[in-house]
Chains A and B, each alone.
Chain A
C-alpha cells in the first residue's frame, strides 16, 4: 500500500522529467541553437584574440530584438521580403530595404531605395557607408548593429 503510493508518485515525477528531457533536446533541435553555438565558438577561438572584425549582427530594438546573425562574408539582405536574411515584420520597412555587404575587411550598408530610408547613427544612408562596430543602423522601427 505504502509502496504503491510512493511508486505512483515516483512514476509521476519520472513523467515530468521525461517531458523536460523532450523539451530540452527539442530546444536545440528546433532552433539549430546547439549547432550554431558550437560553430560560433570554434570561429571565435580561431580568429579571436581581440581582433575587431565584426562577427555578428545584433538586433537591438524592434520586434526582433535579441536576434543575432553571424556574419560569414556574404551580404546580408534586410527587408520584409521572405527571402531576406533578416526578415523584418515592420510596417515602416520596405520589401527590400537595405543591404550590408563586406568589402575587404569592412562592412558597408546601402539603402535599396526604401520608402522611409536607412539611417546610420543619425545620417541618412544615400551612398554605401562604412559601418563601424557598435554604431546603430535604423530601419523602420528596427535598430541593428555590428558586434565583434
Chain B
C-alpha cells in the first residue's frame, strides 16, 4: 500500500465516551461518601481495639479522632464532587482505608516504642489531602500535563539523581540509602515525586514517538525484535536505574523505575519483545551489581538464607518472618502482637506488622484493597479515549501495584528486600504526598473516562451523524 503518510493535524484529542445517548450516567458520589464513612468506622474501630489491647484509657477522644478523620476525607470528597464529579467512586475510599489503617498501625507502634510518629503522619496526611485537592482543582484536564512532558522529565530526572550526587550534609545516607534531602526541620525523598514526573514524561514521549517503536523490526523466535538504533530510550532508562542502584544504594526505586518504563513501553507498543529485552538487561545489570557491590550482596544473602545471620544482617527479615508466623491465619489481634521488634516496622516493614496483628486474613484483605485500587486505575485507563491518558493511567495504576509487590515480596522473602514504602500505609511524608498526587491524577483520568458527553456538537448540517445511535457492546480488552 505504498508508504503511508501521517495524515494532517497534530495529536488527536480524546473525547469522553458516550456510547448510548439517553442513558444518564450516575456520578455515584453518594456511594463514595458511604464507603468513606465505612472506612472511617473501620479505622475508628481499629483504633479502639488498639487502645483497649494496649490497656490505654478509652475516652471519647477516640471517637473525635475518628470524626476528624472522616471530616478530612469528607473534604477531599467534596473537592472530588466539585471538580471531578464523574471520578471513580471506589478509589478514594480504598485509599482512605489504607491510609487510616496505616495511621492506626503507626500509632500502635508508637505506643510500643514510645515515639510520636503518628502525629507527624496525621499532619502529613492533612498536607497530602490539601495537595490532592489543589491537584484536582488546578488540573481540569490531564492532557495539559502532556504539554509539559519534557520539562517534567528533566525535573524528574534531576530529582531522582540529586540525592545520589549531593554531598553528605544535605543528602545524608540513612540506613545505607542516599535518597533523602535534609532541610533541617524536615527531609524529603525526591524519588517519590520523580516517579510521577517521569511517568508523565514517558507517557507524553511515547505518545508522540510511538511509531518509532512499532514500525520497524523483524521477527526472531516469534518475537518482534526492535532495531538496535531504537533501543536508545530503553538503554537510557536502564542506565538511570542502574545508577540509582549504585549511587544511591536504593534497590527498590531502581526496580520500580525500570518496571514502570518497561510497562509503559509494552502498553504503548504491544510488543512483548521490549519486556523480554528489558528484563534480560535488568537481570544482567543486577548480576553485575551483585558481583561488584557489597550492599547488594548483603541483600541477596539475606534473601537466600536470612537465618544464617539471624542476629546481624538477617535480623530484620527474620523478625518479620517470625512476626508473620506469629500472626498466622487470623492474627494476634490489633495491639496484641509485638510488631515493634522488627526494625523499621513503621516504614518498610509495616505490612509485616499488619500481618502479625491481623493475620493472613487481614493482610489478604488489605492486598485486595490495593488490587481494587489498581484495577480501577487500569480500567479508567482502558475507558479513557486519549492515548496519553491511557498510558499515564495505566502507568500510575501499575506503579502502585508493582510497589506493593516489591514491598510485600520483600517482607515475605519472595524477592530480596529492597526497602521502599508501602503506598499510603507506611510512615513517610514524601511517599504520602506523592501518592496522593497520584490518586488525584488517576481520579482525573477516571473522570475524563466516565463523564458522559453532554451538549451534542453544534453541527446542524449532519444530524444523521450527530444523532448516530450506536451501542458499544464490548470494550477493548
Contact = CB atoms under 8 A, between A and B. Distances in A.
A30 B25 contact: yes
Contacts of A23: 90, 372, 375-376
Q: For this complex, into which size category does the number of interface residues on chain B fall?
A: 35 or more
A8 B386 CA distance: 42
A22 B90 contact: yes
Given A19-B369, A22-B35, A29-B28, A116 B361 contact: no
Interface in A17-44: 18-20, 22-23, 26-27, 29-33, 35-37, 39-40
A18 B369 CA distance: 11
A15 B354 CA distance: 17
Contacts of B365: 9, 12-13, 15-16
A75 B464 contact: yes
B20 A91 contact: no
B20 A36 contact: yes
Interface in B204-243: 211
Contact of A83 (B5, B20, B372, B465): B465
Interface string B464-477: 11101111111111
B97 A15 contact: yes
The secondary structure that dominates the A interface is: mixed
Contacts of B368: 16
Interface in B1-44: 1, 4-9, 12-15, 17, 19-20, 23, 25-26, 28, 31, 35, 38-39, 41-42
A8 B45 contact: yes
Given A12-B362, A85-B468, A91-B211, A26 B476 contact: no
Contacts of A66: 474-477
Contacts of A46: none
A87 B15 contact: yes
Interface in A115-148: 115-117, 119, 124, 138, 140
B443 interface: no
Contacts of A117: 1
A13 B372 CA distance: 13
Interface string B389-431: 0000000000000000000000000000000000000000000
B342 interface: no
A32 B211 contact: no
Nearest to B469: A72
B42 A11 contact: yes
A22 B464 contact: no
B19 A32 contact: yes
Given A15-B42, A31-B19, A37 B7 contact: no
B20 A35 contact: yes
B264 interface: no
B369 A116 contact: no
B35 A19 contact: yes
Output the residue of B97, B375, B468 with the most chain A CB within 10 A.
B468
A87 B19 CA distance: 12
Nearest to B357: A5
Q: For this complex, into which size category does the number of interface residues on chain A fall?
A: 35 or more
Given A15-B97, A19-B35, A26-B89, A65 B476 contact: yes
Interface stretch (B244-252, B295-303, B327-335): B327-335
A80 to B, nearest CB: 5
B179 interface: no
A46 B445 CA distance: 39
Contacts, number: 192
Given A31-B383, A63-B387, A69 B471 contact: yes
A64 B475 CA distance: 8
Contact of A30 (B8, B387, B449): B449
Contacts of A74: 464, 468-470
A76 interface: yes
Output the residue of A5, A18, A124, A140 with the most chain B CB within 10 A.
A5
B331 A22 contact: no
A58 B127 CA distance: 48
Contacts of A8: 42, 45-46, 49, 334, 358, 362
Interface in B447-477: 449-450, 457, 459, 462, 464-466, 468-477
Given A9-B358, A63-B387, A77-B465, A116 B4 contact: yes
Contacts of A40: 471, 473
A145 B4 CA distance: 21
Contact of A82 (B13, B19, B38, B464): B13
A87 B457 CA distance: 15
A87 B331 contact: no
Interface in B32-69: 35, 38-39, 41-42, 45-46, 49, 52-53
B339 interface: no
B88 A26 contact: yes
A139 B291 CA distance: 52
B28 A26 contact: yes
A78 B51 CA distance: 63
A75 to B, nearest CB: 7
Contact of B7 (A15, A27, A91): A91
A59 to B, nearest CB: 8
B385 interface: yes
A45 interface: no
15 contacts: A4-B52, A5-B336, A12-B42, A12-B362, A13-B361, A13-B365, A29-B25, A32-B20, A33-B473, A35-B23, A66-B475, A89-B14, A91-B211, A115-B7, A116-B7
Given A15-B369, A32-B471, A63-B387, 9 more contacts: A11-B42, A14-B38, A19-B94, A22-B89, A30-B25, A32-B23, A65-B476, A72-B469, A74-B468
